[in-house]
Structure 1
Amino acid sequence: MLQHLLTLIWNKKRQHFLLFLELFISFLVLFAVFTMLVYNYGNYRQPRGFEYERVLTVASFTRFPNEPPRDSLTQLSEQLKRSLQAIPGISAVSFVSSNSPYTMSTSSNNISYNNIHEQADQYWADDDYARLLQVHMVRGKWFSRADVTGTRRPVVINETLAERFFGKEDPVGKIINDDGERRIVGVVRNMKIGGDYAEVRSAIYQRIDSGFQDKFLIKLTNSAALSTESRIYKTIMHQFPASSTEIEKLEDKRVVKNRMSLIPVILMLVISGFLVLNVALGIYGVVWYSVNKRRGEIGLRMAVGATSGGITRQIVGEALVLTSLPLLLGIILAVQFPLLHLFDLPAATYIAAILLATLFLYALVTLCALYPGRQAAKIYPAVALHED
């Protein structure tokens, strides 16, 4: 039966060339779409690693007419932090770098350990960061003032970097290098600071302990009043009248960040949707035209004993075999992505995308060929032979 279907399709290869090409391109587009979907879904399933509810991100840009000494700037920052912590409804305040959760800013550096090099995201925060975001420490602890000894500054790394450098070995107490020697005091659970669909990357957290800090996170209590944000703004402006202050909710920034991550996926879905619609119409038209041209053949087959189900299966089978040829070429091309490690994505992501794209195309072709196949099964032999 399969050999017969292949012979029928091969004899009409010129008529089907454009459809072959359309199916081949459709598979590649669907492969790209499903790769993005599987990749984003895999990232979404990963634990967030921190709590963002009732957290405000504050940026207070302050200019000093005469640059004070560094120690004076540190004291001004600490004084502002104490003033903010004294406001009713605030449970924690933490100084952070510009690439705090859900911002558009990024920073990375090359980290090394025993000739192993890794490009890791780099963050700066103070001692209250872990408590404010309620992060989970896998090993060791978050750094504190007591950890500042000698020239080896304390750092915290995430699980991904710990796995990369140390495997199952305990990283606490080990020395790593970036711009200098750093001593690991703890390993924190991976945090998706870039959004729910962001890839979990290697990360290192360093301690902020000096200079003027103009960016910080504020954790509100459950009973915080609606006027708390206003009081935060007034407190900052009272101490630094010349500053420009922006206050945003981390929840709102998360929504914006997630939407930006989904824009490429939505665009690909729209483009592939139009392409799939054209493919569906093309397959439906080809099968319908083939059935109408072969009414005599179908009538003869039914006259010699072919069943309605057999006719339907033949029509659908021809469409599936017609799809399999360009699909095979597309799969051969798609398999090169995991084999060559293109775009540095897990092989499982590519394999899942290939399977989903294949199943989707087969399901689409089956649906498009099913109705013409059922119509062909309703042809009366006598009428078909008389028309022929």
Structure 2
Amino acid sequence: MMMFKHLFKLIWNKRKQNFLFLSEILISFMVIFAVFSYLTYYYQNYSKALGFDYKNVWSVSYGNRQLPKNNDSLAIFYDNLTKALKAMPQIENITFSSSNYPYSDSFMSTGLTQNRRKFDRVSNFMVGDDYQKVWKVPLLEGRWFLPEDAVGKDKGVIINETLKNEMFGSQKATGKLIGDYDDKNKLKVIGVVADIKANGDFQPGNNAMFSRLDTGSLKWTGTLLIRVRANADATFESGLYKFMATATHSAIEIQHVNEMRDTRNRQTIIPMVIFIIIATFLIINVALGLFGVLWYNINKRKGEIGLRRAIGASGRSVSYQLVMEAMILATMSLIVGCFFAIQFPLLSVFNIPASVYIVAMLLAVLFIYLLVLFCSLYPGKQAAAIHPAIALHEE
């Protein structure tokens, strides 16, 4: 206890000289906290299940202006097109979809109401009856869409697990009624599926709702999703392109979903790598600064160190004192830094889970302690090697 009292007294007496050290530690902590928050957030998202199978799925975009305008004629056209495509041996399954399918650059959202609670920015997927089969989305509760859902009293919808938990908790959602954003029209939950990370492996699975593409909405549809078999090659892709161009009388674009996934992931990985590189250079500069400050303090305190050695202090105790001073200064800065860092989970900044900030703060504290310890060990060892006679002679 007396030792710590003595250390605090030394630190207080040199408060002006220690201000730079405290400032460097505080700034370093905030930077490291930001880096670890960034990495923890994306790691937590990456570690969660994808929720669907993107392999061997192609998207076909086409124009719908040349298609029949009459709903009955359009339904017959799509029925014939579906049968023709399914007859191809390289195709396992197909479905029509709105443009906001996984890894696309499109986003559609809606609002829902349940027990007077509003749920904003719910991803709204307009899908065909075989959407689940194409993506192999796990069904957790209830069932998927059937053709007879087109004549039901209440429009049937399927929600994802996250939205189900927010709305109904541990209760079953199947059969429950929810409202649209104005709560004027009722929607009947017929199924619950696992969360899907539609925006990339490093992005969270947001609240999502799946609605069935009816005859009226097919006229606006311009996306076909195809699950192909392993033997689907470039020759088949070329033939598929010609078939769709002839059938729809429009320009066709075929994309492989696995390539779209890689593109979306790069949009996260590249900024992450750049951010880490910049932070690494900053940390190296801070480490060199801390090392220099500690080295400068030892040179300024040679007389003090020599006197301590002359009255019997061991080199190990001198080294221990300098390391402990650095650790105490680091603790003082970390207390201030943690005060600011704890505001992020308390205020739900950026709408990120509190666990991300808590883990990042703990990792940043540990990192700073290790950094200060590493930077103070060698100067402390050099201080322990100072001969008392030489130090006193120089003074």
TM-score bucket (shorter structure): over 0.9
Contact 2:63 2:248 in 1 (8 A): no
Letter of the 1:230 counterpart = S
2:83 aligned with 1:82: yes
User: What is the aligned-residue identity percentage?
Assistant: 41
Aligned partner of 2:245 among 237, 242, 263:
237
Q: Deviations over 1:259-304 (max 9, x none)?
A: 2123443343233223222211111001011112222322332333
- SS in structure 2 opposite 1:227? helix
Residue in structure 1 matched with residue 168 of structure 2 by the alignment:
166
Out of 269, 282, 295, the residue aligned to residue 289 of structure 2 is: 282
Q: Would you say the 8 A contact 2:150–2:214 is kept in 1?
A: no
Alignment partner of 2:278 out of 242, 266, 271: 271
Counterpart in 2 of 1:204? 209
Q: Which residue of 2 aligns with 1:140?
A: 142
1:39-78 pair list within 5 angstroms:
39-64=41-66, 68-78=69-79
Code of the residue aligned with 2:394 in structure 1: it is: E
Deviates more, 1:103-112 or 1:80-89: 80-89
TM-score by length of 2: 0.92
Structure 2 portions without partners, runs of 5+: none
Q: Distance in 2 between matches of 1:287 and 1:334?
A: 27
**Aligned AA for 2:170?**
K
TM-aligned CA deviation for residue 5 of structure 1: 2.1
**Whole-angstrom CA distance in 1 between matches of 2:266 and 2:18:** 41
Counterpart selection for 2:229 from 218, 221, 229 = 221
Question: RMSD between aligned alpha carbons?
Answer: 1.9
CA spacing shift, 1:4–1:71, aligned 2, 3 Å:
farther
Q: Distance in 2 between matches of 1:380 and 1:364?
A: 28
Q: Is the 8 A contact 2:99 2:222 kept in 1?
A: no
The partner residue of 2:380 within 359, 366, 373 is 373
Give 1:239-254 correspondences, 5 Å limit: 239-241=247-249, 243-254=250-261
Query: Residues 1-388 of structure 1 correspond to what in structure 2 (within 5 A)?
Result: 1-64=3-66, 68-119=69-120, 120-178=122-180, 180-210=185-215, 211-212=218-219, 213-241=221-249, 243-388=250-395
Contact 1:83 1:235 (C-alpha < 8 Å) held by counterparts: no
Name the stretch that deviates more: 366-375 or 146-155. 146-155
Moved more, 178-187 or 192-201: 178-187
Q: How many residues are aligned here?
A: 386
Q: Which moved more, 1:341-350 or 1:192-201?
A: 341-350
Residue 323 of structure 1: how far off its partner (Å):
1.8
Partner of 1:138: helix, strand, or coil? strand
CA distance in 2, matches of 1:109, 1:206: 11
Distance 1:264 1:225, change over 3 A: closer
1:44–1:197 CA contact under 8 A, matched in 2: yes
Task: State the shift of 1:246 in Å.
Answer: 1.1
| Cα deviation, residue 248, structure 1 | 1.2
CA contact (8 A) 1:287 1:372 kept: yes
**TM-score, L = length of structure 1:** 0.94
Structure 1 residue 83 displacement after superposition: 2.2
Query: Tell me, what secondary structure is at the counterpart of 2:327?
Result: helix
Q: Which runs of 5+ in 1 are unaligned?
A: none
Residue 19 of structure 2 aligns with an amino acid whose one-letter code is F
SS at match of 2:162: helix
Q: Which amino acid in the other structure matches residue 223 of structure 2?
A: K
SS for the counterpart of 2:304 is helix
* Matched-pair contact (CA < 8 Å) for 1:87–1:231: no
